[in-house]
Structures are given as C-alpha cells and as structure tokens.
A and B are shown apart, each in its own frame.
Chain A
Amino acid sequence: MATNHDPDLPAPHDEHRRNFLKQSSLLTALALVPSAVVEAAESKLDERVAEAIEKIPLSLKINGKKHKLKVEPRTTLLDLLREDLHLTGTKKGCDYGQCGACTVHVDGLRVNSCLSFAVMHDGQEITTIEGLASGDDLHPMQEAFVKHDGFQCGYCTPGQIMSAVACVREGHAGSEAEIREYMSGNICRCGAYANIVAAIQDVKSGGKKV
C-alpha cells in the first residue's frame, strides 16, 4: 500500500483545499455585499461555531484501562468507543435506543451507549464486550452463548451478552418469564431468543461467578 491513510477519510490536502475554497468564497462575498450584511453572515459561519465549541477533556476507565481524551460534546459514548477507540465489539444497531445492540456497563449499570453523550461520563468506568473475558478465558456468559447457540448472525450478541450479565447480577434471572422481561431491551432479528434464555438460565444455575 502506498499510503496508510484511511480511504474513507478526506486526505489532509483535501482539508486544506476545502478551507481555501471557503475562505476565498468568503472574500468574494465580502467584496460584493454591504458591510451590515457581511457582519450578519460572518456571525453564522460554521467556522465560528466550530471555534466556540471546543473539544472537552474527558477521563474514562474503559475495560480497566484509563483514557485521557478530548471529545466534541455531540459524540455519543457509542461513537467514541467504536470510532475513536476502535472498540468495535459494541455494535450500532438502530442508534435510537430501540434495539440494545450498543449495551455497555457504566459504573456497573447496563445502558444504551447510543443515547448518551460521552462527555457526560467523565470519571466513570465503562465495560464493553471486550472487557468481559480474562485473557483467553471467556466469561461464563460468553461460554454459555456458544454452548447454547445463542445467536445466528451475531450482530446483536455483544449487546445481548452485556445485558445478560447484568440481568444475572441484578437478580432478574429467576425464571424464564423474568429473564424474557428483563432481556426485552435487546432485540434479536434472527430470533435466537429461546437459546439466549437457555444460556442465561445455564449461567444462573451454573454457580460460576458472573
């Protein structure tokens, strides 16, 4: 490969070119319109907004590792994990809090990472699917999903497993009905529900530390 630059991102020189075009078109505009209009237009420029809205420092502990970051306020926790930190185990399904594929634990509570701005978690501890296993030893819930075939396509699986671990820890895995109710925030379009419930019941009755 001639370059290690990501083909999906604009090349650095593209960025410069875009800024040059913006600036030069602004200069053209300045020459043509009365000063009052220019002032009004100037205050609406994207560049001005970008200047005013700085990246915000953020400290997170993710899967046991401390991170010192700077993020734009509109970055969701999900996008921070996937796009900035390349922890792509956590999946983006609906991105609107309806499917549960993005489920992670924040300070021990399962949440939808797509519906939360990363900056709001400063100082908190995040656990993703990557943080569940100990080295090469799978977490009991991961083992149980394999054993019981708790997935087909696998896209919802990280969210299912994070939710399932919390379901057991919360004490909401007492019966099949209770498991189904407390796993209702995780949708599986393949319909692996019966096997997911079996996996959770297995872990619940298995006696291993969850």
Chain B
Amino acid sequence: MNQFQYVRPTKAQAAIEAVAKDPNARFIAGGTNLVDLMKRGITAPQKLVDINRLPLKQIEHQGSSLRLGALALNSVVANDTQVRERHPLLALALNAGASPQLRNMATVGGNMLQRTRCTYFYDLSMPCNKRQPGTGCGALEGINRMHAIFGHSEQCIAVHPSDMSVALVALDATVQVSGPRGSRSIPFADLHRLPGTTPERDTNLEPGELITAVDVPDSPFTKHVHYQKVRERASYAFALVSAAVALDIENGIIKAARLALGGVAHKPWRLTAAEQVLVGQPATEETFRRVAAVAMQGAKAFKHNEYKLRLAPNALIQALKTAAAA
C-alpha cells in the first residue's frame, strides 16, 4: 500500500477544507471498503481525513423524520428501537448486509458510498472505465453474471452493492451534505448516478462534500415490509438481486406502496411506475404478478445474467407476499 498522510480533525469544517483543497485526499470513516481498495491498489489517496471524531453519530427524531447521523454504525442503526419501530424495512436491509463484524465498523455515510464489487473493477489487469476511464468495460463482453439489467451503458454495467441504500431509496430518504460552499439536501434517489459516459463518478457529491446525516421521513410503512435478498450462500454475500417492499394495507386493499430493487443497476433501483399500479389494488398474488411485470419493463440482460430477468420479478413477488402477510 502507498504511504499517505493522516489527519484527524474534530470539526466538520476542517475536514471538508482538507478534502476540498486536495484532489488526492479522501474522507475515511469505517474504512471497510476504502482500506480494501487501498490494499489492492485500486485507489491510492495521498491523504486520509479521519472523520470519526466529528459529532455525527446520533440517531434522533426531529420534526417528521428520523435523522441518522452519518457516523452511526450499521449495527447500531439496525438495533435502534426507533429505527425498528418506525422503519423496520431499514433494519431488515442493514442486517442482510455484510457480517456482524463489518456492520460494527461500517457507517451510514460509508455504506451508501461503497464502490461496486464488479470483478473487473477489482482486477487491475482488466480494463475498467470506472477504475481507469477510457480503458473500456471488461464486463460488457466478459463474465457478467453479477451485473446490471437496468440503466447500464456501453461504458459500464456494474451494480451498486449496498443493501441499506435499497431500503433508503424506497423510504424516500434525504441525504444531508456539507461542503466547501455550504450545506444542501439531496433526495436519496438523486445521490447515486447512472454510469452514462462517466462511470468513474458513483454519486452527485462534489469534491469535499461530506455526508452528515440521512433523514428518513415518517411513513405508514411500519408493518407490511420485507427485504428479500437472493445470494449465492445463506449469508454474508452480496446480492444477486434484492427487493425492498413497504406496503400500507387497509382491509386487504393497498393504500400506498414503496418498491426498490438492489443488485440490478448502478444505483438502488426505485420502481415508481410499479408502485402506482399497486395503489387501490387487493394485496393478492395476482396483483403482485402484474406489478412485477411492470417493474421489469425496460430490463436488458447480457450473456451471463439473463437469469436476473426471472430472478428479479420472482424476488419482488416473494417480497410483496411476505410483506403483505407480515
């Protein structure tokens, strides 16, 4: 691993300035992804700005939303009473991710900023437009079993690996950000980007911008929720496909719905058109099958991931059935 300088500011402004003025500087929080990438030489920052001394760990209800500090640990959020009562879908998604050890290290902010696990991104001997723009996409004609079926481009077909983010996009969360030019809010659905011609950019954050919190608005989705994750072993693996479902059901009729898929696109994939189809319909398997067909419109697979065209709607139907029965 290359050498780097290490600083540990106690004020957010100092941390932001340190990264904003140095293109080779990076924030580090839990480090579970960044340390891995540095060991493999995929990224080599010359300065690390440790943000763990910033006061960003709190979880508190403010107004009409639950604010999760960016440094709250994944394990702490998943076990938090308020999170479990108000947003059980988020707790389910968090506990489906990584291992207990990693959840004790990974933070809210870092989880959403983790990079793709595309094997071509990780293999320095392979071309990858995300790792090294202009070199091509090794996965496009390669072993693309794990790759995207929605929103991909000729330049990149990688998927976003976060489970937590699939729940947060479904729950209409908002990301709070501070940067060299002040603070702003980003709707969760606008945080991550599609690859387009700039797959090296995962998110719409500007240089030096620091995620400080995520707000999850109060909602009626406290009971009929489910996070269905399909992976190649029973636990501790990234999703082939995952489905986040939150339903508000009254007398067997769906009043409101939130749906998202993971493991299918460069960003957590919200299914707004399919949600609208659910509203006013009976919570039956017949409804769920129609909705899954709508959800899959526009999907396009590659040589090795055609199975996702069937796995994704099946996972969604299973999640809908489980959520409705919850």
Residue in B closest to A122 when the chains form the complex, CB atoms = B8
A to B CB contacts below 8 Å, 21 in the list: A56-B6, A73-B5, A97-B32, A97-B35, A100-B99, A103-B101, A110-B100, A110-B101, A112-B102, A115-B31, A116-B105, A117-B6, A117-B35, A119-B6, A119-B50, A120-B31, A120-B50, A170-B100, A184-B99, A185-B99, A185-B236
- The answer to whether B3 touches A184, judged by C-beta atoms less than 8 angstroms apart, is no
Give chain A interface residues in 150-200, CB to chain B under 8 Å: 163, 166-167, 170, 172, 180-182, 184-186
Tell whether A111 is near chain B: CB-to-CB under 8 Å.
Answer: yes
Residue in B closest to A112 when the chains form the complex, CB atoms = B101
The answer, among A76, A95, A97, A185, for a CB contact under 8 Å with B100, is: A185
Measured CB to CB, the closest approach of chain A to B118, in angstroms, equals 16
- The answer to whether B1 touches A74, judged by C-beta atoms less than 8 angstroms apart, is yes
Residue in B closest to A166 when the chains form the complex, CB atoms = B100
Chain B residues in 8 Å Cβ range of A56 = 6
Per-position binary interface string of chain B over residues 25-53, scored 1 when its CB falls under 8 Å from any chain A CB and 0 otherwise: 00010011001101110000000101010
Give 17 new A-B contacts, CB below 8 A, not counting A115-B36, A163-B101.
Answer: A53-B4, A72-B3, A96-B36, A97-B32, A97-B36, A97-B102, A112-B101, A115-B35, A115-B102, A116-B105, A119-B6, A120-B31, A167-B100, A181-B234, A184-B234, A185-B99, A185-B100
- The answer to whether B48 touches A185, judged by C-beta atoms less than 8 angstroms apart, is no
Residues of B within 8 A of A (CB): 1-6, 8, 28, 31-32, 35-36, 38-40, 48, 50, 52, 73, 75, 98-102, 104-105, 234-236
- The answer to whether B6 touches A73, judged by C-beta atoms less than 8 angstroms apart, is yes
The answer, among B50, B52, B101, for a CB contact under 8 Å with A100, is: B101
Tell whether A109 is near chain B: CB-to-CB under 8 Å.
Answer: yes
- The answer to whether B35 touches A181, judged by C-beta atoms less than 8 angstroms apart, is no
Total cross-chain contacts (CB, 8 A): 89
Chain B residues in 8 Å Cβ range of A166 = 100
- The answer to whether A109 touches B75, judged by C-beta atoms less than 8 angstroms apart, is yes
Residues of A within 8 A of B (CB): 49-50, 52-53, 56, 72-74, 76, 95-97, 100, 103, 109-112, 115-117, 119-120, 122, 163, 166-167, 170, 172, 180-182, 184-186
A-B CB proximity, top 9 nearest: A185-B99, A184-B235, A73-B6, A184-B236, A109-B104, A185-B101, A115-B35, A53-B3, A112-B101
Chain A residues in 8 Å Cβ range of B36 = 96-97, 115
Chain B residues in 8 Å Cβ range of A95 = 39
Chain B residues in 8 Å Cβ range of A73 = 3-6, 48
Measured CB to CB, the closest approach of chain A to B64, in angstroms, equals 32
- The answer to whether B234 touches A182, judged by C-beta atoms less than 8 angstroms apart, is no
- The answer to whether A163 touches B100, judged by C-beta atoms less than 8 angstroms apart, is yes
Residue in A closest to B235 when the chains form the complex, CB atoms = A184
Measured CB to CB, the closest approach of chain B to A110, in angstroms, equals 5
Instruction: Report the bound CA distance from A120 to B50 in whole Å.
Output: 7
Residue in B closest to A100 when the chains form the complex, CB atoms = B101
Residue in A closest to B4 when the chains form the complex, CB atoms = A73
